[in-house]
Amino acid sequence: SQTPSPTDFLELDGSLSDEERDIRDTVRAFVRDRIVPNVGEWFEEARIPRELARELGKLGVLGMHLEGYGCAGTSATAYGLACMELEAGDSGLRSLVSVQGSLAMFAIWKWGSEEQKQEWLPRMAAGEAIGCFGLTEPDSGSDPGAMRTNARRDGDDWIVNGRKMWITNGSLADVAVVWARTDEGVRGFLVPKGTPGFTTNDIHRKLSLRASVTSELVLDDVRLPADAVLPEVSSLRGPLSCLNEARFGIIWGAAGAARACFEAALDYSKTRVQFGKPIASFQIQQQKLAMMALEVNRAALLALHLGRLKDEGRLRPEQVSMGKLGNVNAALEVARTARQVLGANGVTLEYPVIRHMNNLESVVTYEGTADVHALVVGGALTGIQAFR
Ligand code: TGC
Ligand code: FAD
């Protein structure tokens, strides 16, 4: 009998359908050819090329698990596999795809009018239009219910005022989905780029997720027509339902980032010679490799299980929280261990590991911090809400 493959130790490949494997392999090839050779430079220069959106549209990954309006309508598991491959390239790339498909497009797809869907979704699926999702504010992150951004009616129009902070794709976006407090509850607004009173400021000097644009959105007496509001929801359930989708993608993505770090460490350990032997021949390094392999496989297994639950329509938000908490923490652990295996080379952008490690510091914070997800799981376990 054969020894298990270092890159698929638990033979999870065999649990995928042919279609899922095809999608995975197509995205993997795109990441290998288009992203891996360039992303170190983008990270260093703190940018991500806008034209990538169209390329990702052609690849079919933007809103890929949504039905209709030019979206591919794949299974949730196939979407997860794509996220895994994208984030094995860089978390910033997966962020672009998550924010576009799971946050901005999903908000319109789930809560928008037929006209809003027709206007935006086909162009967004093609990557011709980019979206962003504004929930967080300077004074409300984990507690979005405390948002100050507000909208009031003025005749048939709406007037929106406020600020959103830390918004991925903010200044790139052709349309911002902005959540605001109204007399009727929390509502979502579609704010096209260039609307008078709507401006963006990029956030500079990030040391994490550098190959991703993060911006402040400023809304100063922004007048919007009646049909700018997402008609189908007026509570925090609106934005939180979108977060379930994006967090699901992150569960897979984190497993991809971990895998990339593990593979870099395995490779390095077999070629780096010290004391006359490859460092892979020392017990301490083998233990590190074994623990990393365990976490990578466990993360992939968890992602796959949650993907199957989602495809059966049974995935609960509390299970998504457990997955995001577990897989991002595991990925951080793997990245930090891998960085040490690479010695001094582990601190340069010549290798992918420190880039992933730094990126994961954002991933553990956005889409609900590890603490928030622990409290969601804790609340489900005990029946006691510990947020406030
Ligand atoms: P709570 O009182 O529990 O609920 C308010 C309303 O929301 C509903 N709800 C949900 N609906 C769908 N999915 C969920 N997971 C939901 N959780 C709650 C709930 O039923 C209720 O509905 P209704 O109709 O009765 O009003 O809310 P709370 O204020 O106690 O807050 C709960 C908490 C803390 C879990 C929530 O606020 C939270 O998740 N906080 C974290 C915030 C967060 O994750 N922000 C992320 C911003 S986006 C982002 O980071 C993008 S980065 C993307 C990238 O680059 O990849
Ligand atoms: P806070 O909520 O102030 O938390 C600070 C600390 O307190 C954390 O450790 C937290 O876990 C802890 N804490 C908070 N509440 C509790 C509690 N009840 N019990 C125990 N501990 C608690 N947001 C968007 O809306 N759209 C985006 O596109 C987006 N992109 C982002 C991109 C990047 C690179 C980053 C870094 C963030 C992005 N965010 C985005 C914002 C992100 O969602 C928030 O940073 C996150 O929700 C946490 O909010 P905060 O940073 O205000 O931290």
Residue 289: band (very low, low, confident or very high) from pLDDT cuts 50, 70, 90: very high
Query: Rounded to the nearest 5°, which phi and psi values hold at 200?
Result: -130, 150
Buried b (16+ CB within 10 A) or exposed e, 155-168: eeebbbbbbbbbbb
Q: What integer pLDDT is reported at residue 13 of this predicted model?
A: 95
Among the bound ligands, name the one nearest to the CA of residue 146: 1
Q: What integer pLDDT is reported at residue 2 of this predicted model?
A: 85
Strand pairing category for 175-182 and 131-134:
parallel
Average pLDDT rounded to a whole number, residues 328-354: 98
Task: Report pLDDT digits (tens) over 40-96.
Answer: 999 999 999 999 999 999 999 999 999 999 999 999 999 999 999 999 999 999 999
* ipTM computed for the complex: 0.99
Protein residue with least CA distance to atom 20, ligand 1: 237
Say if residue 1's pLDDT is above 90. no
Q: How far apart are CA 143 and CA 139, in angstroms?
A: 9
> How far away, in angstroms, is 247 Cα from ligand 2 center?
14
Q: What integer pLDDT is reported at residue 199 of this predicted model?
A: 98
Q: Which residues line ligand 1 (CB under 6 A)?
A: 95, 98-99, 133, 135-136, 142, 144-145, 168, 235-237, 240-241, 243-244, 246, 317, 366-368, 372, 376, 387
Mean residue pLDDT across the chain: 98
63 conformational bin, left if phi > 0, alpha if psi -120 to 50, beta if neither: left
In sequence order, what are the residues at sequence separation of 6 or more whose Cβ sits closer than 8 angstroms to the Cβ of residue 347? 339, 354
> How far away, in angstroms, is 141 Cα from ligand 2 center?
4
Average pLDDT rounded to a whole number, residues 103-115: 98
Q: What integer pLDDT is reported at residue 303 of this predicted model?
A: 98
Q: Read out DSSP for 163-174?
A: EEEEEETTTT-S
Protein residue with least CA distance to atom 39, ligand 1: 368
Q: How far apart are CA 263 and CA 140, in angstroms?
A: 38
Ligand 2 pocket test: which of 102, 106, 369, 384 has the largest number of ligand atoms within 8 Å of its C-beta?
A: 369
Task: Report pLDDT digits (tens) over 246-284.
Answer: 999 999 999 999 999 999 999 999 999 999 999 999 999
Active-site residues: which are they? Answer: 367
What is the percent of the chain with per-residue pLDDT over 70, rounded to a whole number? 100
Q: What integer pLDDT is reported at residue 318 of this predicted model?
A: 98
Which two three-digit tokens encode residue 234?
């007026």
What is the C-alpha radius of gyration for the chain, rounded to an integer number of angstroms? Answer: 21
| CA dist 214 → 169, 299, 376 (Å) | 6, 27, 27
Which two three-digit tokens encode residue 202?
């990029």
Residue 103: band (very low, low, confident or very high) from pLDDT cuts 50, 70, 90: very high
Cross-strand pairs, 162:
219
Task: Report pLDDT digits (tens) over 129-173.
Answer: 999 999 999 999 999 999 999 999 999 999 999 999 999 999 999
Q: How far apart are CA 6 and CA 83, in angstroms?
A: 21
CA 180 and chain centroid, separation: 23
Cross-strand pairs, 218:
163, 199
| CA dist 3 → 137, 326, 376 (Å) | 51, 28, 40
Q: How far apart are CA 282 and CA 106, in angstroms?
A: 49
Cross-strand pairs, 180:
187
3-state secondary structure of 15: helix
